[in-house]
A and B are shown apart, each in its own frame.
Chain A
Amino acid sequence: MTERDPLNTLLREWKAPEPAPGMDRRVVEAYRATRTPPAWRGFWKMRISIPVPILLAAMVVFALLLWFRSKPAQDVPSSAGDVVTHLNATGFEPLPNGEARIVAIKETNR
């Protein structure tokens, strides 16, 4: 194992390959990824910034929505006496032979 051994000189002729240029960046990025906490942990510290005019406009729209929803619904006007809006057909049976017969009002009153 001495330096004068020609085997040592020969072995030194084999140089290790160079790593790819992107290796350093890849390793550092992998390190950063291990340091970044999961997204759900950051949820409680999350911040958003909204321009004041947009915030005010949103508040006005929200207030209007609330106001419209809380307003009592107007009463429906009662129907006039000469307009029939409902028919009760309980007990109605069509004539078996389908023949129509004209009945005078007097007969019905009886």
Chain B
Amino acid sequence: MPVDEATLVREARRGNEAAFVTLYSRHRTALFGFASRMTGSAEIAEDVIQECFLTLARGSAFDAGRARLQTYLFGIARHLVFRHLRVSERESEELAEAAGPVDVLEDLLSAERSELVRRAIASLPALQREAVILFEYEELSLEAIATIAEADVGAIKARLRRARESLRKRLEPLLFSDTERSCS
């Protein structure tokens, strides 16, 4: 009989390791995907995941009656990811300004398509990147994303629209080649 998450959280906080491992196994993949895509680093994502679950185990304010555990965990992960991004973006601000726009055609010659997608998403502003990753890759609903990002659904929709416009522009040569391939 599957145990509900509120019970598992309570047990994990009491020191029941099996309950903790069950929660961890259920949510680790999605949280790791989100954190690694947002930060571009598997190592940082691992730190984020560890901190997320320890925060949960320490007994911070999770109310099973008000929110789903998934949303709560994504909220913690988001907080940690943005804290990291604030530091690293401040550090790399000058480098980014000097780098200038990326030449997609030139990149096409040397990089794989997935790498180009990664770079295109990484170039988005953090809030748009977050919306795209949670919607496209983690397949969360607009309402869940709005809860995690502490914004309203309209704002999330606008971020997604702007993000997709930017991605379409940056990845246009790849989209064009896809269309050609499907026609031939």
Classify the interface of chain B: helix, strand, loop or mixed: helix
* CB of A43 closer than 8 Å to a CB of B: no
* CB of B20 closer than 8 Å to a CB of A: yes
Chain B residues with CB below 8 A from A78, complex form: none
Interface size class of B (residues with CB under 8 A): 35 or more
Give the complex CA separation of A99 and B151 in angstroms. Answer: 115
For chain A residues 3-43, which have a beta carbon within 8 Å of chain B?
6-20, 23-24, 26-28, 30-32, 34-35
* CB of A1 closer than 8 Å to a CB of B: yes
Q: Contact between A34 and B17 (Cβ–Cβ < 8 Å)? A: no
Q: Contact between A32 and B136 (Cβ–Cβ < 8 Å)? A: no
Give the complex CA separation of A34 and B54 in angstroms. Answer: 8
Classify the interface of chain A: helix, strand, loop or mixed: helix
Give the complex CA separation of A81 and B74 in angstroms. Answer: 101
Q: Can you list 11 pairs linking A and B with CB atoms under 8 Å apart?
A: A7-B168, A7-B171, A10-B175, A10-B178, A13-B113, A13-B114, A16-B36, A23-B32, A23-B46, A27-B49, A30-B50
Interface residues of A (CB under 8 A from B): 1, 6-20, 23-24, 26-28, 30-32, 34-35
Interface residues of B (CB under 8 A from A): 12, 15, 17, 20-21, 24, 28, 32-33, 36-37, 42-43, 45-46, 49-50, 53-54, 57-58, 113-114, 117-118, 121, 132, 135-137, 160, 164, 167-168, 171, 174-175, 178-179
